[in-house]
Amino acid sequence: MHATLIKEIEENIKKGKRSQKFSLDQPNIGTGEKTRLYRLMYEHGPGNGKMMFLPIDQGLEHGPVDFFPNPAAADFEFQLALADEGKYSAVVCHIGLAEKHMHKWAGKVPLVLKINGKTVIPPDDEAFSPLDATVEDAVRLGADAVGYTLFVGSPRQDEDFAQFLQVKTEARAFGIPIIVWAYPRGVYAKQAGGIDSLAMVDYAARVANELGAHIVKLNLPKDPKGGSYPEGRFKQYDQFVGEAEEKQLERVIESAGRTGVLVSGGSRMDNEALLKKVEDCMAAGADGLIFGRNMWQRPYEEAVKMSHKIFDIMSKY
């Protein structure tokens, strides 16, 4: 009865194409959510459905040390000016910065409000990110999305799932989309190949899809530490060891299903490597990129120029 549908799915997989694509016309996206996502995907940033975010949540998550390479970046006005001139889809920050700075930039620079967070001081073996703001705060501040960090595989994962359910229920009621920072964490993820291994990042993508995220933010997957996976459930991922990063990312995007995929920029890298990462992620089918330290750890004019180069690459897809 459905042979044509199944054949199409199988053919797309053989060709390395994304069989399930993120779309604003999906039935899980309500009117309010669609309106806000449209602003992020078409009215700001590259404007072709791709998203380009500038986060500053590292001040909470990593501490002031991240601003040592460029002390001016400790002032959120630096990132807001960069987001405006660099043509970003939105900035990402926690509530304190949003309340103190966004009024001046309201309507010019879209906001994604991170509503949970933690410091880097405790170890990540039992990682959990408690709420520090509400969905209602995000709506009050004019945000176009809320950001939620979910630690997949942490021993406190059950608390995380329950907290996320609360956030998702509130976000649905207010018509605001959720972007999930899906990060494998904890001793078990480390033992299963490493927190950034393909097996763990792939699992994180599927979890975000299953739990109802509109968009998921993920790290670029890597080969496991030591070059192979330990015996057990994830040993099957050995068949993908040595694949190009772009190919591994394609697998992760497939696991994300009809959830949009943002790829994290990570720590500072040189210009050539950074631009190659943008090209590879776009070619793999990512829906956007999120660059923080790679941008605001640079002097302002250099950061603007690099942002425009990234913008130009993303505009082609």
**Residues carrying an active site annotation:** 183, 217
In 10 A of CB 45, how many CB atoms? 25
77 CB-side CA count, 13 A: 4
Q: Which residues of 150-172 are buried (b: 16+ CB within 10 A; e: fewer)?
A: bbbbbebbeebeebbeebbebbb
Contact indicator for 112, 90 with CB cutoff of 8 Å: yes
What single string gives the DSSP state of each residue in 164-206? Answer: HHHHHHHHHHHT--EEEEEEE-SHHHHHTT-TTBHHHHHHHHH
Question: CA Rg, the chain, in Å?
Answer: 19
23, amino acid identity: S
CA distance 2 to 10: 13
The secondary structure of residue 48, as a DSSP letter, is: S
Contact indicator for 176, 36 with CB cutoff of 8 Å: yes
Q: Give the burial class of 233: count Cβ atoms within 10 A of its Cβ; 0-12 exposed, 13-18 middle, 19 or more buried.
A: exposed
